[in-house]
Amino acid sequence: MTTSPFVIDTHDLGRRAGSMRTERRVVPSHAPLGTEVIGMPEGTPIEIDVRLEAVMEGVLVTGTATVTATGVCGRCLRPLTEEITVDVSELYAYPDRATHHGEVADEDEDPLPVLVGESLDLEGPLVDALVPALPFQPLCRPDCAGLCPECGVRLDEAEPGHAHAEPIDPRWAALTALSEPDEDREK
């Protein structure tokens, strides 16, 4: 049986409130995360730096996760990479404390993740923190001018004053003849 690299053993913490340790590791993403515009392909390394602390209810995990996302600029379609760092904070309940001290959890409240034996799985909380942190419209740089809507040239690379003749609506094209000088009318 293979164990996920996201699974962390907490045996050494015991159930002594206040005992803690740190865990640093680099794990590959199991699946592609994000969108077609920007994301993390399967196998992208995720750097995890967390502190595990035993508390009365379970094990509190706090720290950061860092990943390099790849994608394209939302304006000019240039390839880009962006380093994303997110804070991670999750409480993993001991199996006997998962129901909020014997009470039934409120329907609107998300249930706490539960330790499986003496192990916790960080994959869910990491995905939940990393995916929303991805930019909605990534940019290669803040002042990116984008693409010309007519010809598709990158406006940052176009000659100064790049412009196209305004297209004439075909419904009005016949009227353009009236705006031109007519030699026959002048006679």
Helices H / strands E in the chain, number of each: 3, 8
Cα distance between residue 13 and residue 173, in whole Å: 80
Answer whether 91's CB lies under 8 Å from 55's CB.
yes
Q: What is the residue extent of each domain of the chain?
A: 7-133
SS3 of 162, please? coil
pTM over 0.85: no
The pLDDT averaged over each successive group of 10 residues in the chain (187 residues) is 79 84 93 91 95 92 96 93 95 76 52 87 93 92 88 84 79 74 57
| DSSP H or E run through 176 | helix 176-179
pLDDT for position 98? 59
